[in-house]
Amino acid sequence: MFLDSPRLRRSRTRRVFALSFARWRTLFLRFRWPSLVAFFMAPRSLPTPPLVHKVGLSPVARVRVRTGVPEAAERVLRAAALEVETGALDVAGADALLCLLTDRIDAEFLAGAPRLRIVANMAVGTDNVDLAAAARLGIAVSNTPDVLTDATADLAFALLLAAARRLAWADRYVRGGGFVGWTPELGIGLDVTGRTLGIVGAGRIGRAVAERARGFRMEVLFHARSGGTPLPELLERSDFVSLHVPLSPETRHLIGARELGRMKPSAVLVNTARGPIVDEAALVHALRTGVIAAAGLDVFEREPALAEGMRDLPNVVLAPHIGSATIATRARMAEVAAHNIVAALRGEPIPNRVA
Ligand code: NAP
């Protein structure tokens, strides 16, 4: 009777629970949690049947890659078991397109691409793509931000320095045999260190240019839609103005005759964003008549054509849209665009989706 008392029963139950708790605790601590996490986080290889099922139209999804895209893209796409065709802008049978910023992807083009799931632009700007039409047709659009930020900021600063210190003129002068001896006035340019830099578009590239300017002890002003220095004030106060906004209906001709007129006669304009942000005819006039001192341009309004009179100006440094043109940057851009395509065709979230 004593052995089966309710008190003893309670104590036995407590002991059993205590033991099993200790056992559970040991099991929990000994379990290889990192392996479990790694298992769920590991990227899955892309088996062909599920992909075919998702795409639903051909045994293997087909990707059109534009001629000139670095090979790095093809490696990523083939590793994901996708069929790659390199060539002209022809997407009649393609499930994905890896295109260039020079490709005009408008509503008519998209309507002729019935299988297309994604347009992966190898650029951060997507002004060459009709985003609204793509959205209407259920076609995703992606870009390649971040990987080109430093290269483009480097070029913006190179143009700023080249325009201020008349580097293109100096090179031509020496090659042309004009350099017959040092004189105090030869090649006089503008100071950069300690001057004021106005950055229009305070995004990734704009901020990266500001980082470089700090090394030159420059005062930096920012203008963006979301705040900063109002554009007229920035133009009036800056010795250098560098443009880093995307091209949109809002930013087309953001810098025209009136804005150039607000700048100092000693000021330099740098454009590595998109050509149509500047009214190029107005800029030619401003450079010719001394409204501003100089300009450094990587992009043009009607690229690759130049506005009339531009090529004859001695106070402008011209580059052929090479902002992101370094070997490593271009390879990374191609890879990023390819990864966007792989994600889209797998039905996964697209890392750099813009529409
Ligand atoms: P981002 O990070 O998106 O920055 C864009 C900035 O512009 C943002 O700060 C945005 O801020 C501002 N902005 C947008 N619309 C504006 C407006 N109407 N007025 C004032 N500010 C405005 O882009 P990112 O990566 O720096 O690239 C910028 C551009 O550089 C790209 O769109 C591309 O066209 C160009 N780019 C050129 C080259 C080349 O080879 N030359 C290479 C790379 C990029 P709020 O939204 O707050 O206004």
Per run of 10 residues, the mean pLDDT along the chain (length 355 residues) is 45 45 50 46 39 48 98 98 97 96 98 96 98 98 98 99 98 98 98 98 98 98 96 98 98 98 99 98 98 99 98 98 98 98 98 98
Distance between Cα 245 and ligand 1 center (Å): 3
For residue 202 the two structure tokens come to 């305070």
| Number of the ligand 1 atom closest to the C-alpha atom of 231 | 20
Peptide bond between residue 304 and the one before it cis (omega within 30 degrees of 0): yes
The pLDDT, as a whole number, for residue 54 is: 41
Residues with CB under 6 A from ligand 1: 124-125, 145, 148, 152, 201-206, 223-226, 244-247, 250-251, 272-274, 298-299, 321, 323-324
| Number of the ligand 1 atom closest to the C-alpha atom of 245 | 7
Number of H helices, E strands in the chain: 13, 12
The pLDDT, as a whole number, for residue 23 is: 52
Place of tokens 């454009």: 271
The pLDDT, as a whole number, for residue 15 is: 43
Phi, psi of 247 (to 5 degrees): -80, 125
The pLDDT, as a whole number, for residue 20 is: 53
Contact between 274 and 142 under an 8 Å Cβ cutoff? The reply is: no
